[in-house]
């Protein structure tokens, strides 16, 4: 099971009928450690927080790192840090979990990012994609939003014409039942589809 499949509605806890292994166990068994690691990271954080409306763009570690850097250091501490930095060999290591690189990726892909906010409009920001959750297609989301708009306008005594006859909307009269029947049948189709 690949990462896009995990982000769709596929059940990540399903087991193979012959051996009874989950997709992650299969990845470990077949020696695909990178795939198993990615699956574990997705399971640790099944819902990307930056795709929510409530995401705050502050890096949580920033305050503690600034406080640590602002602390006064003794002469001995400064000398020992200088010697350690001069003597230590820099080895390349991967990015740290919740480090600066992770924060940069979250910032640039969040809904409030200028890169994203200018180029696209989110259809459903209150329900971000999650591992194991079936996400609706854009057409399904738009159809439900349109039905909610019609219901709210129906409460305000204005009906949007679903027939596309160019009238836009018409006021309901006391004896006009044809518009009510059209809207009710349209809403029933939307709820079923």
The DSSP result for the chain, as a single string, is --HHHHHTT--TT---TTT---HHHHHHHTT-HHHHHHHHHHHHS-S-GGGSTT-----THHHHHHHHHHS---HHHHHHHHHHHHHSPP---PPPTTSHHHHHHHHHHSTTSHHHHHH---S-TTS---TTPPPPPHHHHHHHHHHHHHHHHHHTTEEE-TT--S--EEEPPTT--HHHHHHHHHHHHHHH-
Say whether both 142 and 188 belong to one domain: yes
Structural domain tally of the chain?
A: 3
Say whether both 52 and 39 belong to one domain: no
Instruction: Please write the tens of the pLDDT for every residue from 117-140.
Output: 666 667 777 777 777 777 778 888
pLDDT at 99 over 70: yes
Say whether both 52 and 123 belong to one domain: yes
Q: Take residue 90 and report the two structure tokens written for it.
A: 């820099």
Say whether both 120 and 83 belong to one domain: yes
Say whether both 115 and 70 belong to one domain: yes
Is the pLDDT higher at 146 or at 156? 146
Per-residue confidence (pLDDT) for residue 149, from 0 to 100: 87
Instruction: Please write the tens of the pLDDT for every residue from 28-44.
Output: 888 888 888 888 888 88
Instruction: Please write the tens of the pLDDT for every residue from 173-182.
Output: 444 445 555 5
**pTM score:** 0.45
Say whether both 102 and 37 belong to one domain: no
Assess contact for 54 and 125: CB atoms under 8 A: no
Say whether both 56 and 109 belong to one domain: yes
- Mark which of 110, 130, 150 sits at the end of a domain: 130
Say whether both 24 and 90 belong to one domain: no
What domain range includes position 52? 48-130
Percentage of the chain surpassing pLDDT 70? 66
Say whether both 111 and 69 belong to one domain: yes
Percentage of the chain surpassing pLDDT 90? 0
Query: Residue 171 — very low, low, confident or very high, per pLDDT cuts 50/70/90?
Result: very low
Say whether both 126 and 52 belong to one domain: yes
Say whether both 22 and 86 belong to one domain: no
Is the pLDDT higher at 60 or at 22? 22
Task: Name the residue among 131, 158, 139, 106 with its Cα closest to residue 47.
Answer: 131
| Average pLDDT of the residues in 141-162 | 74
Per-residue confidence (pLDDT) for residue 118, from 0 to 100: 66
Say whether both 38 and 70 belong to one domain: no
Per-residue confidence (pLDDT) for residue 140, from 0 to 100: 86
Distances 113 to 28, 45, 56, 107 between C-alpha atoms, Å? 36, 21, 11, 6
């Amino acid at each position: 099971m690949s990462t896009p499949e995990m982000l769709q509605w596929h059940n990540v806890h399903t087991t193979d009928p012959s051996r009874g292994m989950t997709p992650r166990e299969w990845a470990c068994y077949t020696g695909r450690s990178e795939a198993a690691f990615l699956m574990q990271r997705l399971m640790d954080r099944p819902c990307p927080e930056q795709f929510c409306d409530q995401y705050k763009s502050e890096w949580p570690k920033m305050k503690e790192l600034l406080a640590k850097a602002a602390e006064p250091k003794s002469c001995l501490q400064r000398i020992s840090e200088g010697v350690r930095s001069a003597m230590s060999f820099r080895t390349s290591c991967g990015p740290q979990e919740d480090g600066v690189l992770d924060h940069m990726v979250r910032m640039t892909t969040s809904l409030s990012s200028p890169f994203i906010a200018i180029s696209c409009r989110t259809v459903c920001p209150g329900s971000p994609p999650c591992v194991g959750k079936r996400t609706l297609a854009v057409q399904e989301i738009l159809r439900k939003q349109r039905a909610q708009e019609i219901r709210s306008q129906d409460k305000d005594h204005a009906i949007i014409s679903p027939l596309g006859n160019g009238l836009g909307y018409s006021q309901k009269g006391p004896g006009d039942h044809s518009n009510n029947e059209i809207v009710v049948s349209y809403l029933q189709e939307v709820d079923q589809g």
